[in-house]
Amino acid sequence: MKESVSHEGFHSLEEQMQEYVDIFLWLQQDKGKTPGSFEEKRALLEERERKTALFLPSVCLRECCSLTQAEYWVLMFAFCFELENGLCIDCRNRYKENWPSLQYAMYLLSPVIMIGFDDVAGFCGGGGALQDILILGQEEEETEGRWERGLLQRPLLLNPAVFYFLLTGSLAQEDWYSFYAASEEIHKGQELFPLHEEEYRRLCGYLREKEPLRILLHGSKGSGAHTLVRRAARELGRNVVVFRVKSLMCASKSRRSYICQALCLIIRLSAPVVAVELADEIPGSPGEEWEQVRSRLLRGLGGSHLCILANTTAQVSLVREETDVGITLKDALSREEKRLALDAWISPEDRRQWQEDLLGNYRLNVGEWKKRQKTISLRAREGARSLSDQDIWLEAMQDRQEASRFGKFIEDRYGPEELILPEDCRRQLETVARLAKAWRGKQGLQVLFYGSSGTGKTMAAAVLAGQLQLPLWKVDLSQVFDKYIGETEKHIDEIFRLARRNRYLLFFDEADALFAKRTAVKDSHDRYANVSAAFLLQRMEEHEGILILATNLKDHFDDAFVRRIRFAVKFRGLEREGRARLWRKALEGGLPVARDVDFNALAEAAELSPARISAAAHVAKLLASCDGSGAVTGGHLREALALEAGKDETAIRGF
């Protein structure tokens, strides 16, 4: 009965490991160790492993890594030594060390297993499989150019990832990688609808190649590169490992070695498609750092295909020479794809045409759309409102706007009826608004608002942004210019990139400072000022969105800029009737206006700009509030008008 039981399979991992521990305890004895007796024990052990129905991590590791007999038994000795304190006693007695070395492991195994110099070289990292499994005293410090101990005498340790796998049969979840099994479904929220169909077919073809390829996938963040790799790998029955290079770049030397070894283990065990997620920012020298990572990474790939995910042109230039083929992903959903996304998400009773029109104002890739979709859903649930409520969409789109030191949002929104302008100017603005709504050109729409200060240019920009349902972003010119060569161009580039990502309506107030006539080159300052102007002109031509320039000094504009402006609207002061309407509107709200106030006479008294009329009306309200009269009287208005006119000695007539 005992003989038959001994040939049964193992019932647990603990039972299997105890068998190995017993063999190593036997090897530590001084007598009875012969190759023949060891072979009997080994054969019996392997027979039981073959009969075991359980998943045995050690057997899996041996087969996936193609370990030789010597490599496998060194591996199991290192594992058992961590598990069984009793194995430590002999090592401590013989070598006075708390932890065994590779030298001690070979001392135990060499009487029963042939271990040659090639095996020893493999143990120490000379191309053997154990170089990605063992840690041979990497915590040892180098002193004055010499190591304290020889390589074979350093502590024999397992990589923690290997130890965890042998212990549990699974891979530890860590922040430097993600693992997706081929059988794992892609969550519905991760793939709204099939995208990049042409790119998908190409990637599947590359992954079918027997020769491992290094594939560059270039697309902005959120363009769907991760989902594309998972879709293609799942189609071919392949696992996927997403490796984050940033974790390696920022790691210490020992941590970096651990990560590289663990990644190699995962690749050996699962033969996945490896997707490398490049770092956004790399400390120190990017080229030098990448070279160190590249050599370790590519060495451990084995027969796996490599997909390098690059978000920026800088990342592409860093890895282009390492890749065999490239695939570029478009960085924005088409109008048709946005319609499909809305149809897939919103029920027919809540679906509206304006939702499609609103999304058409924004340049979104699938990742950005998912974020906005989540925000809209949360706002709808918070207020117990329907997805057909337009206000929650507008609020959600604003919530996702990016901030920048180069400008700020103009939050004020006005309706066209609130903007009081001369009739010809108003008609021009209405035409610009109609054209802007229908604009579908590859190049953007540039509009110039020019006229004296306070005539309503900024308010008109806010009205146009409201009609187009776009965020109005005013550029802060004081932050754009920089005394250091090349910095101004970087700032200009960032402004246009920000506007492109978020579909901002760009507003350059006092734009003559930025778009002024270029100067003759008298010194290096003039040369680089002209370079900045030329770069600005180039970015303005390439910009796909709407751009509004406002200036009081149109004559100061460079002719090259003026030629590229599609529409120009002149703002001028109001006639008497328009000024009277504006006085009435400016005095609305708060305290009432006395009945004897003659608005026509007030408008005739001084030819003030709309901005100055609004300022004077505000002062009159404050004066009425201060004296407690309960109404804004002609006296308050005369006093406020005198204060406003005194700024530039504007003449006041008969009020």
Stretch among 204-218, 233-247, 308-322 having the lowest mean pLDDT: 308-322
Q: Identify the pLDDT of residue 146.
A: 43
- Average pLDDT of the residues in 338-343: 86
Report whether pLDDT(403) > 90. no
**Token pair listed for 148:** 């304290």
Q: What is the pLDDT of residue 204?
A: 94
Q: What was the pLDDT predicted at 234?
A: 92
Read off the pLDDT of residues 147-173 as tens digits, 9 standing for 90 and up.
456 677 778 888 889 999 999 998 888
pLDDT (mean) for 82-105: 79
Residue of 86 and 403 predicted with greater confidence: 86
Region 307-317: what's the mean pLDDT?
A: 86
Joined tokens for residue 77:
């000795």
The predicted pLDDT at position 201 comes to 93
227/366 Cα distance (integer angstroms): 10
Higher pLDDT among residues 651 and 616, named by residue: 616
State which CATH number among 3.30.230.10, 1.20.58.1610, 1.10.8.60, 3.40.718.10 fits the domain covering 576-645.
1.10.8.60
Q: Is CATH 3.40.50.300 the right assignment for the domain spanning 177-328?
A: yes
In whole angstroms, give the CA distance from residue 459 to residue 418: 9
Q: What is the pLDDT of residues 503-559, one digit of tens each?
A: 788 998 887 776 665 554 444 444 445 566 777 778 887 888 888 988 888 777 777
Helix (H) or strand (E) holding 216: strand 214-218
Residue scoring higher pLDDT (439 or 530): 439
Rounded Cα distance between 534 and 52, Å, is: 74
Q: Is residue 291 scored above 60 in pLDDT?
A: yes
Q: Percent of the chain, pLDDT > 70?
A: 85
Whole-number pLDDT of residue 48: 93
Q: Determine the 3-state secondary structure of 269 from DSSP.
A: helix
Give the Cα separation of 486 and 419 in Å (integer).
41
Give the percent of the chain with pLDDT over 90. 16
Mean pLDDT of the chain: 81
Where in the chain are the domains?
Answer: 2-168, 177-328, 335-400, 408-571, 576-645
Do 177-328 and 408-571 agree at the fold level? Answer: yes
**Residue 140 clears pLDDT 50, i.e. is over it:** no
DSSP 525: H
Query: Which comes out higher in pLDDT, residue 54 or 304?
Result: 54
CATH 3.40.50.1000 fits 408-571, yes or no: no
**Please, what sign has the CA dihedral across residues 26, 27, 29, 32?**
positive
- Residue 295 confidence (pLDDT) above 70: no
One-letter amino acid of 433: A
Confidence band of 561 (pLDDT split at 50, 70, 90):
confident
pLDDT band at 363 (very low <50, low <70, confident <90, very high): confident
pLDDT of the residue at 95: 67
